[in-house]
Amino acid sequence: MPLVFLAPLFAAGATLVVVPWLVHQIRRPEREPMRFSSVMFIPKSDQRIIERRRLQHLLLMALRMATFLMLAFAFSRPFLAGRLASEESGSAADHVIMLDTSFSMGAEGRFEAAIERATEIINGINAPGASDASERVALLTFASSPRVLAALEAEDDVLAGSSEAARAALTGASLSEESTNYASAIARAGEILARNVDRDSDEAKPSGSPDAGDDRRRIIHVISDFQSAGLSAGEIHRKLPPFIELRPVDVGGHASDESGGNRSVVDIAVREIAGDKLRIQAKIKNWSESDSHDGRVRLIVGEKTVVENEFAVGPRNATQTSFEVEIQGRSRVEGRVEIGADELPIDDRRWFAWGAPRARSVLLIADPKPEVRWPASWFLTHAINPGADLPWETATVGQKDFAARLLNDPVRPDVVMACDLKGMSEGAATSLLDYAAGGGSVLLALNSSFEADALNERLLDDLSLRSEGLLRAGASPRRFSLLSWLDLDHQIFAPFRGAQYNDFSQIRFYNYHRIGPTAGMAEGEGFAGMNVLARLEGLQSGEKFPAIIEVAHGQGNFIIWTFGFELAMTNLPKDVRSLPIVQQTLRHLTGAADERLHWVIGETLHGAVRPSPSDDLWRLVEPGEASRELTGAELARFLALPMRRSGIESWSAAGDGVASSVAINLDSRESDPQRVAPEEFVHRFMSVRPDETSSLVAGDHSQEADAEGLAEGLAGGRELGRWFIGAMFALLLVECWYAPRLVR
């Protein structure tokens, strides 16, 4: 049982043991000869007492040195590596080989070494000649998700579990462009080895389960470079059952700096600047621990190098470089930023795409209010049109003309905003409901002119809501309510998620409508469409009413502000927070926030396009693939799948010359060469405590007893840091008791 250290650099702290020795040397009294006339008055000193006192001081110094030594060992995380009891037996075994295919394995020689090690493991496993003592093997590749290439057993495959099947499957393993996720792969391998364990019944288990009559060993071989990025920080990993052994096979090596190190393009941003130009900014990271690097970075548009820049970056540092390219006729621009090849070429480029944002039409319904200097329509119009770079086109119409505008206008508005209304007419309410039911989005601000009965009858009853009228009969700046809660996870409040931005204590609401679910229906019950996004204080202590409500209706939705966006009801229009709230609300309602142009492998493109589930054909071009035609329903299913390859992906409706495209890139965190020690990896995933085994194999007492026996074989495989800390505190207590006695 060898003793290893999971953080060996902290063991250098053991040199602190010289501190107590130095202190004792400094405090040692110097002996100088002193002239004295007579020694008759000086008492005799017993040499034995002197020697005993010297020994006591040496013991005190040893206590203090041991305390420092225990502290250094505790921080270095000593781990007593044990061996499974089943490993020492000669029983047959079930093996699962986990082969890492994440793109970091593409560094020089890593994947080839991994294939070689997997081949050695397979060749060392007995071919199934006799069924009573045969060994079986399964092959699983993993990156962001696991994939079984060779099963351990299958009813319709007589070769399942054989070395021949695993060896044949290994020839089909290839590198991916995905990042690493160890937890999901370990969990999948554990399921393969323990899938027949039934926790909920006491029925007899098949031979694959670890009952008292089954002495087969179960072993997982993890062949990887053990990148730290594959282990999420702070994530609690599920432990493997104690009857499964984990064997790491490290192919990462330790010579990244000697072979030149790795540089990568880790981020890219594209924005339009004045003069019909694009500014493309790229971030280049040097992952080397010791070497600085310089080189050239290229901007490639349409497979043609447009601009080249020089860059220089220090060890474990990053630098930015920028390019400018002209926009030809507001057309889409696609390309990549690329640096020279290094030991990991796949992360030396990053793709980008740009397209002029589609203008979204906003229809504002507002009745004239000449008596009000700054009506709600004035604030809303200025909030969504402060500059030409916002993707909204607004038009204003009165309540009387709204229905006719919807019927006669050939272009359906993307969103309707209703404010400054003098009550709610039946025609306007019906038009709003029909518009939302057909897939439209409505933002409704309720000012003080709305009467509760008419509002309920004409609009809110159809939305399963009900108004109890205004909170106060008259509004006054001296009486106000504050926001008591916000749903900061909602997109509308995304700009306020930081602690320094979410202070709404200065926003005052002088009056608002008390709106809730239909009588007898609690919030969220009876219908699935209601979502309260913000709440306001009531008149009574603990009383709360919704401030912002989102409710579905047909294929569309409503967002209802229970207050009017006017100074008579709130000071929000004068606050700087009003701009992001209004703009984020419109982005949410129009879907403009979903128009992302840069995505990461593993994400789904469900928000990039919303094809109608019809038989209309779409033309899709994937990275590195030829174009193909899909129906709207097929395209929607395809976009719901995680992306697997980097590059430019584009699509367009058949017969429509306008194409949309997005850039798909690698997860840059996978480029970080920081690694986790194999011992630490095993410690995170293996069960080593007997008290953990009962929950893993509960339901069968014979299995539980067997698991405890196996756990005893693992009892030495424990992290001993807590024991060293306990010993340090014990030594401190002894030192605190012993030192004053020497002084006396």
| Domain endpoint, select from 593, 613, 629 | 593
How much is the pLDDT for 170? 94
686 or 190: which carries more pLDDT confidence?
190
How much is the pLDDT for 199? 36
How much is the pLDDT for 79? 64
Per-residue pLDDT band for 691 (boundaries 50, 70, 90) equals very low
Question: Could you tell me which residues come within 8 angstroms of residue 428 by beta carbon, excluding any fewer than 6 positions away?
Answer: 365, 399, 402, 403, 418, 421
Q: Order of strands, edge to edge, in the sheet holding 317-326?
A: 263-273, 277-286, 317-326
The most confident of 78-82, 383-387, 644-648, 707-711, by mean pLDDT = 644-648
Lowest mean pLDDT among 139-148, 414-423, 544-553, 686-695: 686-695
Asked if residues 229 and 668 have their Cβ atoms less than 8 Å apart, the reply is no
Same domain, 405 and 548: yes
How much is the pLDDT for 590? 81
Same domain, 353 and 364: no
Number of domains in the chain: 5
Residue 525, domain CATH: 3.40.50.880
The average pLDDT across 305-314 equals: 93
Same domain, 144 and 69: no
Same domain, 518 and 642: no
Chain-centroid distance of CA 64 in Å reads 45
Q: Cα separation of 707 and 718, whole Å?
A: 17
Same domain, 62 and 124: no
Q: Cα separation of 425 and 564, whole Å?
A: 17
Please determine, for residue 359, whether its predicted confidence score (pLDDT) is greater than 90: no
The average pLDDT across 115-136 equals: 73
Same domain, 313 and 296: yes
Please determine, for residue 35, whether its predicted confidence score (pLDDT) is greater than 90: no
Please determine, for residue 569, whether its predicted confidence score (pLDDT) is greater than 70: yes
Lowest mean pLDDT among 2-6, 172-176, 451-455, 568-572: 2-6
Please determine, for residue 84, whether its predicted confidence score (pLDDT) is greater than 90: no
Return the closest-CA partner of residue 581 out of 546, 536, 530, 533: 533
Residue 201, domain CATH: 3.40.50.410
Please determine, for residue 207, whether its predicted confidence score (pLDDT) is greater than 50: no
CA geometry: angle at 270 spanning 269 and 271, to 5°? 125
How much is the pLDDT for 217? 84
Chain-centroid distance of CA 110 in Å reads 27
Please determine, for residue 133, whether its predicted confidence score (pLDDT) is greater than 90: no
Task: Provide the 8-state DSSP code for 227.
Answer: B
How much is the pLDDT for 560? 95
Alpha helix positions (H), 3-46? 18-27
Task: Provide the 8-state DSSP code for 570.
Answer: B
| Domain endpoint, select from 543, 575, 593 | 593
How much is the pLDDT for 516? 86
Same domain, 342 and 489: no
Asked if residues 561 and 443 have their Cβ atoms less than 8 Å apart, the reply is yes
Return the closest-CA partner of residue 92 out of 44, 131, 35: 131
Q: Cα separation of 444 and 440, whole Å?
A: 13
Q: What share of the chain in percent tops pLDDT 70?
A: 78
Same domain, 212 and 65: no
The average pLDDT across 423-451 equals: 89
Instruction: Report yes or no on 40 lying in a domain.
Output: yes
83 or 487: which carries more pLDDT confidence?
487
How much is the pLDDT for 257? 42
Same domain, 445 and 587: yes
How much is the pLDDT for 302? 84
Each residue of 712-739: pLDDT tens digit? 333 335 567 777 788 888 888 888 887 7
| Domain endpoint, select from 357, 389, 408 | 357
693 or 217: which carries more pLDDT confidence?
217
Lowest mean pLDDT among 33-42, 117-126, 333-342, 563-572: 33-42
54 or 72: which carries more pLDDT confidence?
72
The average pLDDT across 8-31 equals: 73
Same domain, 99 and 114: yes
Q: Cα separation of 455 and 74, whole Å?
A: 69
Please determine, for residue 245, whether its predicted confidence score (pLDDT) is greater than 50: yes
Backbone angles phi, psi at 467, to 5 degrees: -100, 140
Lowest mean pLDDT among 189-193, 268-272, 672-676, 714-718: 714-718
The β-bridge partners of 530 are 551
Please determine, for residue 138, whether its predicted confidence score (pLDDT) is greater than 70: yes
Please determine, for residue 383, whether its predicted confidence score (pLDDT) is greater than 70: yes
Q: Cα separation of 641 and 121, whole Å?
A: 34
The average pLDDT across 658-679 equals: 87
Written as one letter, the residue type at 496 is: F
Please determine, for residue 455, whether its predicted confidence score (pLDDT) is greater than 60: yes
How much is the pLDDT for 629? 87
Instruction: Report yes or no on 416 lying in a domain.
Output: yes
How much is the pLDDT for 406? 80
349 or 29: which carries more pLDDT confidence?
349
How much is the pLDDT for 6? 61
How much is the pLDDT for 593? 55
pTM, to two decimals? 0.64
Instruction: Report yes or no on 461 lying in a domain.
Output: yes
Asked if residues 106 and 186 have their Cβ atoms less than 8 Å apart, the reply is no
How much is the pLDDT for 738? 79
Backbone angles phi, psi at 72, to 5 degrees: -65, -45
Instruction: Report yes or no on 671 lying in a domain.
Output: no
Instruction: Report yes or no on 513 lying in a domain.
Output: yes
Asked if residues 114 and 35 have their Cβ atoms less than 8 Å apart, the reply is no
The average pLDDT across 180-197 equals: 85
107 or 73: which carries more pLDDT confidence?
107
C-alpha separations of 711 from 77, 205, 257, 630, 706 in Å: 21, 21, 41, 55, 9
Average pLDDT along the chain? 80
How much is the pLDDT for 483? 92
Same domain, 323 and 384: no
Each residue of 515-543: pLDDT tens digit? 988 764 444 443 445 789 999 988 888 78
Kindly tell me the sign of the dihedral angle through the C-alpha atoms of 236, 238, 240, 246: negative
Instruction: Report yes or no on 21 lying in a domain.
Output: yes
How much is the pLDDT for 189? 92
Same domain, 249 and 274: no
Per-residue pLDDT band for 269 (boundaries 50, 70, 90) equals very high
Q: Cα separation of 287 and 670, whole Å?
A: 11
Instruction: Report yes or no on 210 lying in a domain.
Output: yes
The average pLDDT across 691-718 equals: 37
Instruction: Report yes or no on 479 lying in a domain.
Output: yes
How much is the pLDDT for 714? 37
Please determine, for residue 1, whether its predicted confidence score (pLDDT) is greater than 80: no
The average pLDDT across 473-483 equals: 86
Residue 319, domain CATH: 2.60.40.10
How much is the pLDDT for 603? 86
How much is the pLDDT for 728? 81
Backbone angles phi, psi at 337, to 5 degrees: -110, 130
Q: Could you list the residue range(s) of the whole structural domain that residue 729 is in?
A: 3-81+723-741
Each residue of 635-650: pLDDT tens digit? 878 877 888 999 998 8
Q: Cα separation of 430 and 427, whole Å?
A: 5
Question: Could you tell me which residues come within 8 angstroms of residue 610 by beta carbon, excluding any fewer than 6 positions away?
Answer: 591
Please determine, for residue 663, whether its predicted confidence score (pLDDT) is greater than 90: yes
How much is the pLDDT for 709? 38
